[in-house]
Structure 1
Amino acid sequence: MEEITLGQIGIIVSFTAALITGLTVIFKLVSKAATKWIEKCLMPLDKKLDRLEAKVDKVDLSACKNFLVRMFTEIETRDKLGDNERQRIYEVYDRYRKLGGNSYIEDTFNRLRREGKL
């Protein structure tokens, strides 16, 4: 039977450490390359999503404006406004402002607040 020497153990440990280190470096390089490739492949999709998001925001802004105009007209024609309606108007107005809305909607909103109708 053959005995294992201390030198052989050292060689096995060194080889194992070098193998693990080498595999780790290779994995990191492959991972980095794969990430760059995936990002490059997804870039057109990302641009399309940005354009889609801008279109959705534009539609949302228009929907908010339409809702507010309808509600402002309704406020002008009746004296009382329910709490839920009032709360919804404030929510939609906040969303409208966050989307960049302004113009006569803001003027009408502020006028109705001054008159105590909102």
Structure 2
Amino acid sequence: MNKPWLLASLTIFAGTTSLLFGAQSASAESVTFTLVNSTSRVLEEFYASPPSTDDWEEDILGVDVLAPGESTQITIDDGREDCHYDFKGVLGPGEGVGRGALVQSSVNVCDGGTYEYTE
């Protein structure tokens, strides 16, 4: 095998590989939306998981909380191509009300809009 042919083959292979991997990462981009707490209670935890899984995964807020009237930007960068996620928000106790969870199924997050928790 002569070396110029080998070099040309490797260059074509490397270019094709980068195109394939580039297309793969472009189709699984992160999504960002605004989460608004329009309740009278503190949003203590927030989870977003694809409908295809039974696990809520990690609390996206971590050690932070979202006070009534506050908002924050949420970015989901899990490598999945799905635009629909199930949301679970855990609200702290309020006057005469204990701690509770609000669950919403199949929310479209790819539009980059706003998701609001209300009572």
The TM-score normalised by the length of structure 2 is 0.32
Larger Cα-atom Rg: 1
Q: Higher strand share goes to which structure?
A: 2
Query: Higher relative CO (CA 8 A, sep ≥ 6), structure 1 or 2?
Result: 2
The TM-score normalised by the length of structure 1 is 0.33
